[in-house]
Chains A and B, each alone.
Chain A
Amino acid sequence: MAYDKFEILKDSVVPLPIENVDTDQIIPARFLKATKREGFGDNLFRDWRYNSDDTLIRDFVLNNPIYKGKILVGGKNFGSGSSREHAAWAIYDYGFRCVVSSFFADIFKGNALNIGILPVTVSEAFLAEIFGEVEKDANTQVEVNLPAQTITILSTGSQESFAINGYKKHNLLNGFDDIDYLAAMKEDIKQFATASHY
């Protein structure tokens, strides 16, 4: 599915300083029954956002109006567990375009990149600094610069570089996805298939 191009994102952040946030928390399995890719943002972190009677859990960060922005900052090992791409959809659909953590689970990272979310891996110290700054001022601005591959906390000027492979970067910058690429090499694939063991 096509997504918006990503270049430079400057915004306030939503802090979620919890480690091992697994995809079952991001989007519980009972919301995977859709046959369309719509409305997942409503159920993002459902069981942390709402009580079982659907009343809001006031102290969860997404329910706190002082925190907003397109950048979600999570604790170490973000996105572990189930491979469900719905987790990335929910994050995108809710309005996030970038997730920052000191460590991402593999499948989540791949899913995010495929649908136009930029996962930015920073050092533990940098992550702690973001959380610290946001605690002081909920409006702390962070700039994620994809062309330069840098992330900057604007209030302190602290900056780190992040890694992303050139192919994925090119896709994100242009709003392309892998399917576009593969469609262009169908003949090569057919030839390869003929020669394969199975």
Chain B
Amino acid sequence: MATTLFDKVWDSHVVRKIEDGPDVFFIDRHFIHEVTSPVAFLGLKNRGVDVLFPERTFATADHNTPTINQHLPVADPLSANQLKALEENSAKYGISHWGLGNPKNGIVHVVGPENGITLPGMTIVCGDSHTSTHGAFGCIAFGIGTSEVEMVLSSQCIMQPKPKKMRINVNGKLGKGVVPKDVALYIISKLTTAGATGYFVEYAGDVFENMSMEGRMTVCNMSIEMGARGGMIAPDETTFNYIKGREKAPSGEAWDKALAYWKTLKTDADATFDIEYTYNAEDIEPMITYGTNPGMGIGITHAIPTAEEVGGGKATYEKSLGYMGFAEGQDMIGKQVDYVFIGSCTNGRIEDFRDFASIIKGRKKADNVIAWIVPGSHIVEAQIREEGIYDILVAAGFELRQPGCSACLAMNDDKIPAGKYAVSTSNRNFEGRQGPGARTLLASPLVAAAAAVTGKVTDPRELLN
């Protein structure tokens, strides 16, 4: 029978099928961080059970960490407590731990791929919804809750009903200034934040085939924002080239064997999906969000739609625009921006900083803007320096911070103040996500750069050569 990439990976990981129940689903790799793991470890302790396969779990500190002065003790006692719990639990159970100050430390979904821990055909989970990022390698990867973290620690399995299958095709050539983040925001604006609930998505078409691994990670990362369990892209030469030579990637004979397997990981030509959508690359503009969910995005040159145009609940829509301080029909171009955040597991990789630098090079940071430039990992930070991007940042009046989740969820000190507008390359613009009362405009690194140098929402195409 013809099967999809998703079927191939899913079916090969089912340990047991429970009648009228979920599948017992085997997990190859498990990432943990300081926020969603302590209670899971406490659960293990209370039950008196051990970690079944400690070598399959990897710990990194990221959600709660400061992005300046990481060499100093963490000031917030609650954060410090969580970091300590992660370190102690990892040591106790023999789990590899990249804590603060470790040269491999960084955001969980950035360090997994860059160290070759993430490999095609794996099943990967983490107590963070953007685990979907790893789908870029042809993995089934998704976020789980803390009870499930405990399940994976104790049994390397979780209970999962198999989701339905969706394929999203985007074909054609992306226009100038249109980058993977725009593709993701465009798809979500079409499907809405619940449009893919219950589905696992495969992205296909030449736009994704021609995309770099960084770009594919950005797209898969955002899958969760349309309600999908996750998203994946079939591995190809781009994938294999990215993986080759990374620290934990197979080498020698093991590489050849792995490669032969990876090449089988694709959807058969006659396989079918429960639902399929197709879009044209030419229709996608640089995108920006105007509301309080990631589905409320528009092409940057467009006006904020009316409640009638978007459909759905009018009261909810008005509440959202009220929070943002926007009104129906207003243009997004020219709106004042107070903060710019580039970073997160969505857009905190080297390519994102290259994009950012391409616009700010030879320009100056706008006086009214506070910019937080946060690499996704120490490895990304080192690349920023090596490639001369650091010098471009400094010459333009920007500072570089240290790696972490930072203003993506604002659990550390990087909070956007109430009422302020932030153009952010992260993934969520919910009320208060970037700090109580913060107003978030999600966008690509190019749009963020354009805002950072002009102090307002600006079409990046006007600043690109």
Contact partners of B224 in chain A: CB under 8 A: 83
Q: Are A83 and B147 in contact (CB under 8 A)?
A: no
A136 within 8 A of B: no
A8 within 8 A of B: no
B375 within 8 A of A: no
Task: Bits for B153-173, please: 1 = Cβ < 8 Å to A, else 0.
Answer: 011111101010000000000
Q: Are A35 and B293 in contact (CB under 8 A)?
A: no
Q: Are B26 and A193 in contact (CB under 8 A)?
A: yes
Expressed in whole angstroms, the Cα–Cα distance for A83 and B47 within the complex equals 24
Q: Are B154 and A183 in contact (CB under 8 A)?
A: yes
B310 within 8 A of A: no
Given contacts A1-B43, A24-B430, contact A185 B24 (CB under 8 A): yes
In this complex, what residue of B is CB-closest to A24?
B430
Q: Are A167 and B431 in contact (CB under 8 A)?
A: no
Given contacts A32-B35, A80-B194, contact A182 B155 (CB under 8 A): yes
Q: Are B316 and A182 in contact (CB under 8 A)?
A: no
Expressed in whole angstroms, the Cα–Cα distance for A47 and B432 within the complex equals 9
Q: Are A182 and B127 in contact (CB under 8 A)?
A: no
Task: Bits for A48-79, please: 1 = Cβ < 8 Å to B, else 0.
Answer: 00001000000000000000000000011100
Contact partners of A81 in chain B: CB under 8 A: 129, 428, 430
Q: Are A165 and B26 in contact (CB under 8 A)?
A: no
| A-side interface residues, number (CB < 8 Å) | 57
Q: How far is the CB of B331 from chain A (nearest CB, A)?
A: 25
- Stretch among A100-108, A137-145, A146-154 lining the B interface: A100-108
Contact of B161 among A105, A114, A165, A196 (CB under 8 A): A165
Contact partners of B177 in chain A: CB under 8 A: none
Q: How far is the CB of B262 from chain A (nearest CB, A)?
A: 10
Contact partners of B157 in chain A: CB under 8 A: 182, 189
Most buried by B among A84, A179, A185: A179
A25 within 8 A of B: yes
Contact partners of B35 in chain A: CB under 8 A: 32-33
Given contacts A24-B430, A33-B78, A80-B227, contact A1 B119 (CB under 8 A): no
Q: How far is the CB of A23 from chain B (nearest CB, A)?
A: 9
Q: Are B155 and A28 in contact (CB under 8 A)?
A: no
Contact partners of B154 in chain A: CB under 8 A: 179, 182-183
Contact partners of B43 in chain A: CB under 8 A: 1, 179
In this complex, what residue of B is CB-closest to A52?
B436
Contact of A165 among B22, B42, B151, B433 (CB under 8 A): B22
Q: How far is the CB of A198 from chain B (nearest CB, A)?
A: 4
Q: Are B18 and A167 in contact (CB under 8 A)?
A: yes
Given contacts A18-B316, A32-B411, A182-B151, contact A106 B146 (CB under 8 A): no
Most buried by B among A47, A84, A88: A84
In this complex, what residue of A is CB-closest to B28?
A198
Contact partners of B82 in chain A: CB under 8 A: 33, 35
Residues 22-46 (chain A) with a chain B CB within 8 angstroms: 22, 24-25, 28-30, 32-37
Contact partners of B147 in chain A: CB under 8 A: 1, 85, 111, 114-115, 177-179
Q: How far is the CB of B366 from chain A (nearest CB, A)?
A: 28
Q: Are A83 and B143 in contact (CB under 8 A)?
A: yes
Given contacts A36-B39, A37-B39, A193-B26, contact A105 B194 (CB under 8 A): yes
B383 within 8 A of A: no
In this complex, what residue of B is CB-closest to A186?
B155
Contact partners of A84 in chain B: CB under 8 A: 36, 145
B189 within 8 A of A: no
Contact partners of A34 in chain B: CB under 8 A: 38-39, 78
A158 within 8 A of B: no
A82 within 8 A of B: yes
A175 within 8 A of B: no
Q: How far is the CB of B188 from chain A (nearest CB, A)?
A: 12
Q: Are A85 and B151 in contact (CB under 8 A)?
A: no
Contact partners of B53 in chain A: CB under 8 A: 193
Expressed in whole angstroms, the Cα–Cα distance for A115 and B410 within the complex equals 27
Contact partners of A29 in chain B: CB under 8 A: 409-411, 433
Contact partners of B96 in chain A: CB under 8 A: none
Q: Are B26 and A35 in contact (CB under 8 A)?
A: no
In this complex, what residue of B is CB-closest to A108?
B145
Task: Bits for A149-178, please: 1 = Cβ < 8 Å to B, else 0.
Answer: 000000000000000011110000000011
On B, residues with C-beta under 8 Å from A are 12-13, 15-16, 18-22, 24, 26, 28-29, 35-36, 38-39, 42-43, 46-47, 49, 52-53, 64, 76, 78-79, 81-82, 85, 119, 121-122, 127-129, 143-148, 150-151, 154-159, 161, 163, 193-194, 197-198, 224, 227, 229, 261, 293, 312-313, 316, 319, 409-411, 418, 428, 430-433, 436-437
With A85-B36, A115-B147 known, 9 other A-B pairs at CB within 8 A are A1-B46, A24-B433, A52-B436, A83-B143, A84-B36, A106-B227, A166-B20, A179-B154, A190-B52
3 smallest A-B Cβ distances: which pairs? Answer: A167-B21, A85-B145, A166-B20
On A, residues with C-beta under 8 Å from B are 1, 18-20, 22, 24-25, 28-30, 32-37, 47, 52, 75-77, 80-86, 88, 103, 105-107, 110-111, 114-115, 165-168, 177-179, 181-183, 185-186, 188-190, 192-193, 196-198
